[in-house]
Amino acid sequence: MSEFWIYFQIGLKHVLDINAYDHVLFLIALAVPFSFSDWKRLVLLVTLFTIGHTMALMLSVFEIVAIKVNVVELLIPITILITALFNLFTAGKSNKKESINLVFFITLFFGIIHGLGFSNYFKSILGGTARSKILPLTEFALGIEAAQIVVVFVVLVLSYIVQTIFRFSKRDWTLVMSAFIIGVVIPMIVASEIWNR
């Protein structure tokens, strides 16, 4: 098996791992307000998230940034909560360019936080010189991007089915899914090890 495929698969599994569903929850929260007509904007958001994720891994792998695991493990569900709450407060409202630019920036920042959550594991599977780390990071990032696009595509298909067959409005779909996500992440925040100090 080629090295490209090894790191690409690690990226795929990182997103699609059923036991690490926080990444998928974030993607659902990110994608749920969109429809197929918004696909360019949504792909850009997903790519910004991947860029942030990869930047965090690079900063960690080259030991520029180090952050406590329990802090990151708390911040990850908080990013999901903020995204879902944003959906609740903006559902059904027309997208303004200012809010879109803010969403782009926040998505990039949240990608950095999520990347830091995976950095320790990724560092443990990497070895060698700085130069030999760039290619695996790129291959891993491509795997993440591919998996994220799959998740977003599934969300868009579900959104289409719910809105056309079951006659949910886009606003109601966004509200229901965002409320569901909030219901899942609040226990994750409450259960964080950071509170046990």
Quick one: which of 142, 149, 152, 120 has its CA closest to 10?
142
- Domain residues for the domain of 106 are 3-196
- Tell me the pLDDT of the chain (197 aa) as tens digits: 577 899 999 999 999 998 889 999 999 999 999 999 999 999 999 999 999 999 999 998 888 888 888 999 999 999 999 999 999 999 877 654 556 678 899 999 999 999 998 888 888 887 665 557 888 899 999 999 999 999 999 999 999 999 999 999 999 999 999 999 999 999 999 999 888 86
Buried b (16+ CB within 10 A) or exposed e, 148-179: bbebbeebbeebeebeeeeebebeebbbebbe
Amino acid, single-letter form, for residue 135: L
- The predicted pLDDT at position 197 comes to 66
3-class SS of residue 168: coil
- The predicted pLDDT at position 89 comes to 92
Domains in the chain, number: 1
The residue ranges of DSSP E strands in 121-180, in sequence order, are none
CA pair distance 27, 46, nearest whole angstrom: 8
Which two structure tokens, joined as six digits, stand for 15?
Answer: 């997103």
Instruction: Count the alpha carbons within 13 Å of 75 in the hemisphere toward its beta carbon.
Output: 16
